């Protein structure tokens, strides 16, 4: 068979064993996977495992924080998350500050149509002698019910000088 499992059902009181030809691993006593259909009394065929990660996009409402006035500034990150299923998705975000200081994180609520939006508070500040400026990287991670993950990142800069 292609892309799935061959499993064998043994006499009463013996756990079901599932053989995955991709990994050559037998799993004893495992619960039957979703969409299992019985081919016969002694064997059944299971649906292929979900190995396709979700798709994720992320875009920040601001590419730059200016002026660098030392104020926490709201930045909205939005995008979409999709998966061909089955099962529910979960999503979360992290912020990586190149200064290692302002790094909020949290969970994301994904709407039924796959869209999402959340707001983080980022500090509009950089060191005066920092020619490269400060960068916040917001990373969105989505995970499907089978544990496949995908990420998308978007950056927000606090430049040293405006327009540089
Ligand atoms: Ca999937």
| Domain map (residue ranges) of the chain | 5-46, 55-158
Give CA–CA dist 142/54, Å, rounded: 7
- What is the model's pLDDT at position 124? 97
Per-residue model confidence as pLDDT tens digits over 1-58: 445 555 555 443 344 566 677 777 766 665 555 666 555 434 445 556 888 999 999 9
Kindly indicate the confidence band of residue 92, based on its pLDDT and cuts at 50, 70 and 90: very high
Distance between Cα 114 and ligand 1 center (Å): 14
Q: How far is the CA of 67 from the centre of ligand 1 (A)?
A: 42
Residue 86 Cα to ligand 1 midpoint, Å, equals 7
CA of 88 to the centre of ligand 1 (A): 9
pTM across the whole model: 0.71
pLDDT, tens digit (0-9, with 9 covering 90-100), for 107-126: 999 999 999 999 999 999 99
- Residue 149: the pLDDT is 96
Question: What class has domain 55-158?
Answer: mainly beta
CA 18 to CA 162: how far, in whole Å? Answer: 61
Residue 76, pLDDT above cutoff 90: yes
pLDDT at 14: 43
User: What are the C-alpha distances in Å from 26 to residues 16, 50, 88, 93, 144?
Assistant: 10, 18, 27, 36, 24
Strands (DSSP E) contained in 83-147 are 90-97, 105-108, 115-123, 134-143
List CB-based neighbours of ion ligand 1 within 5 Å.
50, 52, 83, 144
Residues 67, 24 contacting (CB under 8 angstroms) = no
């Amino acid at each position: 068979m292609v892309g799935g499992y061959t499993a064998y059902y043994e006499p009463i009181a013996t756990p079901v064993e599932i053989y995955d030809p991709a990994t050559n691993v037998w799993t004893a006593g495992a619960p039957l996977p979703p969409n299992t259909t019985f081919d016969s009394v002694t064997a059944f065929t299971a649906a292929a495992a979900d190995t396709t990660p979700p798709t994720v996009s992320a875009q920040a409402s601001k590419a730059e924080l200016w002026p660098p006035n030392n104020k926490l500034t709201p930045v909205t990150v939005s995008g979409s998350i999709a998966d061909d299923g089955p099962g529910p998705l979960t999503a979360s975000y992290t912020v990586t500050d190149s200064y290692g200081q302002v790094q909020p994180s949290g969970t994301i609520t994904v709407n039924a149509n796959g869209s999402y939006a959340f707001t983080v508070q980022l500090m509009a500040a950089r060191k005066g002698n920092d020619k490269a400026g400060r960068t916040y990287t917001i990373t969105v991670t989505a995970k499907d019910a089978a544990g496949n993950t995908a990420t998308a990142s978007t950056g927000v800069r606090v430049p040293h000088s405006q327009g540089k």
